[in-house]
Amino acid sequence: MSYLDPPPLPAPVVVTKDVGGYVDEYRARTELYRAQDREVRLHECRSACTLALSLPNVCVYPNSLVKFHAAYDPRNKVVNWEETQKLFSTYPAPVRARLGTLTREYKVLSGAELISLGVRDCNEKRILVAKAAPVPEDKTSLAKIVQGMKSALLTGSEASRESVGAQSAAPTVPVKTQPVTTPQSAPEPQTADIPLPPARPEAQEPADVPLPPRKPTSIALAQAQIALIPPAHRPMQGSARILPDRFTPYAYVIVRR
């Protein structure tokens, strides 16, 4: 992207490679960027493009290249020293000191050198600073501004007395003052003593209640369980067990009366 072909606002002007041209065109474009507070980022900039260094929001990269030379007439290649001096005076003072003078041959400064001379690094975040309006050099304009600020700080009565001055002093009107009595606050009502509820009786420990006697085994239930045992495994009436329970497939039910 060249210096003369900017993107739409508010995007910054990124100059990838600009070989320069007529100084008048670049000067007009520079003033437009100055009025727009436009940021200009330089990668490679030559000849009349170096006018961008006069902008407050210009920046370079450490690997940028900026090439300077004297302005000349493209028809006969003769150096225009008046235009060269105008071009040279737009550079920052440290840059002018490093260049010394402009000649027909290129003088190249890298971005790292320009950053060391005070030009902002594009890799750093831009810091916006509010600028105050310049103080007018005309004493009459300065006096009017001071008088306007002074009048704005004064009240209406004080301003009128100051404008009259020595002609007549405004009589002061006595102001009657009357002591203001504050009404006595009514006494706060006292709260009546409310009796507390009676305390709850302590819980009594449960008494030891005897457990009921164990119920006997139901004979009908025992007979029903015996009926579920196959006949071959039922014990004979009046017989005693020989093998323990682990050798018998069924556990016999003993009926107790």
Residue 201 pLDDT exceeds 90: no
Apex 239 CA angle, 237 and 243, nearest 5: 135
144 found inside a domain: no
Of residues 69, 21, 17, the one with CA closest to residue 43: 17
Quote the CA–CA distance of 164 and 184 in Å, as a whole number: 48
136 found inside a domain: no
126 found inside a domain: no
Containing structural domain, residue 52: 13-121
Look at the alpha carbons of 11, 14, 18, 21 in this order and tell me if their dihedral is positive or negative. Answer: positive
Please tell me the predicted confidence (pLDDT) of residue 257: 44
* Residue 74 and residue 110 in contact, taking contact as beta carbons nearer than 8 Å: no
Tell me, what CATH number does 82's domain have?
Answer: 3.90.226.10
Lowest mean pLDDT: which of 14-28, 56-70, 186-200, 243-257? 243-257
Quote the CA–CA distance of 257 and 249 in Å, as a whole number: 25
Quote the CA–CA distance of 90 and 134 in Å, as a whole number: 20
Confidence category of residue 173, pLDDT binned at 50, 70, 90: low
* Residue 79 and residue 72 in contact, taking contact as beta carbons nearer than 8 Å: yes
**Residues near 239 by Cβ (< 8 Å), separated by ≥ 6?**
none
Residue 248 pLDDT exceeds 70: no
* Residue 83 and residue 51 in contact, taking contact as beta carbons nearer than 8 Å: no
What integer is the mean pLDDT of 91-114?
92
Q: Is pTM, for the whole model, over 0.75?
A: no
The pLDDT tens digits for 28-54 are: 999 999 999 999 999 999 999 999 999
Q: What is the dihedral of CA 181, 187, 188, 190, to 10 degrees?
A: 170
Lowest mean pLDDT: which of 24-38, 51-65, 173-187? 173-187
Most confident of 105-109, 153-157, 161-165, 200-204: 105-109
Residue 224 pLDDT exceeds 60: yes
Residue 111, both tokens:
């971005």
Look up residue 255 and give its amino acid.
V
Look up residue 50 and give its amino acid.
T
Query: Could you write out the DSSP letters of every residue in 148-193?
Result: HHHHHHS-HHHHHHHHHTTS-PPPPPP----PPPPPPPPPPPPPPP
255 found inside a domain: yes
Query: Could you write out the DSSP letters of every residue in 185-205?
Result: PPPPPPPPPPPPPPPPPPPPP
Q: Which residue, 121, 147, 173, sits at the end of a domain?
A: 121
Please tell me the predicted confidence (pLDDT) of residue 225: 72
Residue 255 pLDDT exceeds 50: no
143 found inside a domain: no
Q: What is the dihedral of CA 29, 30, 35, 38, to 10 degrees?
A: 100
Q: Which residue, 72, 104, 121, sits at the end of a domain?
A: 121
171 found inside a domain: no
Identify the residue with better confidence: 172 or 21: 21
Of residues 177, 170, 65, the one with CA closest to residue 113: 65
Confidence category of residue 190, pLDDT binned at 50, 70, 90: low
Please tell me the predicted confidence (pLDDT) of residue 174: 62
Please tell me the predicted confidence (pLDDT) of residue 75: 85
Confidence category of residue 245, pLDDT binned at 50, 70, 90: low
Residue 21 pLDDT exceeds 80: yes
**Overall domain count for the chain:** 2
Q: Which residue, 71, 100, 121, sits at the end of a domain?
A: 121
Residue 234, both tokens:
């039922």
Residue with tokens 């440290």: 94
Residue 256, both tokens:
């107790």
Please tell me the predicted confidence (pLDDT) of residue 29: 93
180 found inside a domain: no
117 found inside a domain: yes
